Amino acid sequence: RKEVEQDPGPFNVPEGATVAFNCTYSNSASQSFFWYRQDCRKEPKLLMSVYSSGNEDGRFTAQLNRASQYISLLIRDSKLSDSATYLCVVLGSGGSYIPTFGRGTSLIVHP
Amino acid sequence: DTEVTQTPKHLVMGMTNKKSLKCEQHMGHRAMYWYKQKAKKPPELMFVYSYEKLSINESVPSRFSPECPNSSLLNLHLHALQPEDSALYLCASSQDPQGRTEAFFGQGTRLTVV
């Protein structure tokens, strides 16, 4: 079983839609969680940190469910510019504190 | 300033060449990383430096040789690479080597081995 798992998608949604991604992690001792966004042929950029209490930034909401060992990212009112790959990153996965990436979820927002 | 700077942005090298990738950050981060990313795959960890000491080498072939001259700089020396080593090489840094803080990535070096 992979340490960090994501549905690769693609998620194909119209502008204005709400879309949610989940990411599961295998190590219950994992400590820190992040969502990164990566555009084609660019570097990953930090989108949000994920806290136990949840985290909201404009149209983006991230949540952590420790009991079920998953984190989620909700995007409301999708824009064309939201089209990208969204990478889930877990620290403290597998007993190490190295950023461990999920395979990424591809989002395509169409007009 | 959350900037990690990588040079060069693009590199084409022959299999017999020796080249180096450079990475610089001035955020006072004490952990620095090299990742390799192939198309449509997530970044794959290569090396971790913690307080300027190599702490993790993910069984990377010896044709890749990392170096951390000081707390702001990280190099990756390349020698006798293979075409399958062509990829995007990403440098990242984070404040806390214990992994409690987010990592910031440079723009990457797109390497092509011919």
pLDDT digit string, tens, across residues A24-73: 999 888 888 999 999 998 999 999 999 888 899 999 999 999 999 999 99
Which chain B residue has its CA at the smallest distance from A9's CA?
Answer: B40
Mean pLDDT for the stretch of residues B19-42: 94
Percentage of chain A lying above the pLDDT 90 cut: 74
Give the span between the Cα atoms of A12 and A83, in whole angstroms: 9
Mean per-residue pLDDT of chain B: 92
Note the pLDDT tens digit of each residue in B57-110.
888 999 999 999 999 999 999 999 999 999 999 999 998 777 678 889 999 999
Q: In the structure encoding, which two tokens stand for residue A71, read together?
A: 């984190």
Contact (CB<8Å) B108/A43: yes
Tell me which residues of chain B, numbers 78 to 97, contact chain A at a CB-CB cutoff of 8 Å. Answer: 88, 90, 92, 94, 97
State which H helix or E strand residue A103 sits in: none
Report angle CA B47, A99, A9 to the nearest 5 degrees.
120
- Measured between CA atoms, how close is B71 to chain A, in angstroms? 18
Signed CA dihedral, B70, B72, B77, B82: sign only: positive
pLDDT band at B28 (very low <50, low <70, confident <90, very high): very high
Between A93 and B20, name the one with better pLDDT. Answer: B20
In this prediction, residue A54 carries a pLDDT of 85
Count of H helices and E strands in chain B?
Answer: 0, 11
Q: Chain A, 34-63: which have a CB under 8 Å from a chain B CB? A: 34, 41-46, 49
Mean pLDDT of B18-35: 95
Whether A94 shows a pLDDT value over 70: the answer reads: no
CA distance A89 to B45: 12
Instruction: Give me the residue from B43, B48, B94 closest to A101, CB to CB.
Output: B43
* Partners of residue A43 in chain B, C-beta under 8 Å: 88, 90, 105-108
Q: For position B101, what pLDDT does the model report? A: 80
Chain A hits for B97, CB-CB cut-off 8 Å, are: 97
Q: How confident is the model at residue B1 (pLDDT cuts 50, 70, 90)?
A: low
Q: Identify the pLDDT of residue A89.
A: 92
The larger pLDDT score, comparing residue B22 to residue A96, is at B22
